[in-house]
A = this chain, B = another copy of it.
Amino acid sequence: MKTGNVRERAVVLFSGGLDSTTVLAMATAANLEVTALSFRYGQRHTLELQKAEEAAKSYDVKEHIIIDLDPEPFRGSSLTGNIPLPKHRENILRTIPSTYVPARNTVFLSIALGIAEARNANHIFIGVNSLDYSGYPDCRPEYIDAFQKVANLATKEAVEGTPPIIHAPLLYMTKAEIIKEGIELGVDYGKTLSCYQPNSRGESCGVCDACILRLKGFKANGLSDPAPYSSNEQ
């Protein structure tokens, strides 16, 4: 119902995965006027983005913006190879998915900050989680605090007294708690995709880190995951 009341605006970082879909549901449930923001930066995300576009339509979202971000410059491809990389870096390259963008959350949050300024939005939501996650440095509470301080200084709006607030509502929640919250808000998790390597039919593998965390979360709630899986391992 349109009441003529001014709704506050929010930019929600939205990948279409379990976490960010829950955050999207939380932001719309809070009656915020939401700009969902996704990024196209690699092959895996073609499918993820299709799912995200479909999912965004299920919520009261004002607009869904997809930003193209060429991932090539973020790769080490132009390294000449004549300088040995430190060992920990090789480990990073082995463990992160091929679509990983270094400093990813900083890039995403900074673009969200710009769009928030353009939209006159006072809220930015990000679905980072410091518990059931792979230990990325840019998912920790102190990182979010540091970015808030940048947001407090970075824009004209901030300087004039209305910096956007960075919300990370899942920061201290377990995957089980996130799923419980989402189900209470009516999230259809069958439409969310978390898997690092889904097959061409969009079925999750059931065995990657993201699948394992997710399946554990449903199990802790006494539920089975409604998303389609290609294996029988869940």
| Chain A residues within CB distance 8 Å of chain B | 6, 35, 62-63, 65, 67-68, 70, 73-76, 78-79, 83, 85-86, 88-89, 92, 101-107, 109-111, 113-120, 136-138, 140, 142-143, 146-147, 149-150, 152-160
A110 to B138, CA, bound (A): 12
Main secondary structure of the interface of A (DSSP, over half): helix
Q: List 23 A-B contacts (CB under 8 A).
A: A35-B78, A62-B78, A63-B78, A65-B73, A67-B70, A67-B73, A73-B118, A74-B117, A78-B119, A79-B119, A86-B120, A89-B120, A89-B156, A102-B155, A103-B111, A105-B154, A107-B111, A107-B114, A143-B154, A146-B146, A146-B149, A146-B152, A149-B149
Residues of chain B within 8 A of A109, CB atoms compared: 110
Residues of chain B within 8 A of A114, CB atoms compared: 74, 101-104, 106-107
A152 to B116, CA, bound (A): 24
Residues of chain B within 8 A of A118, CB atoms compared: 73-76, 102
A159 to B137, CA, bound (A): 7
* Shortest distance between the CB of A12 and any CB in chain B (Å): 14
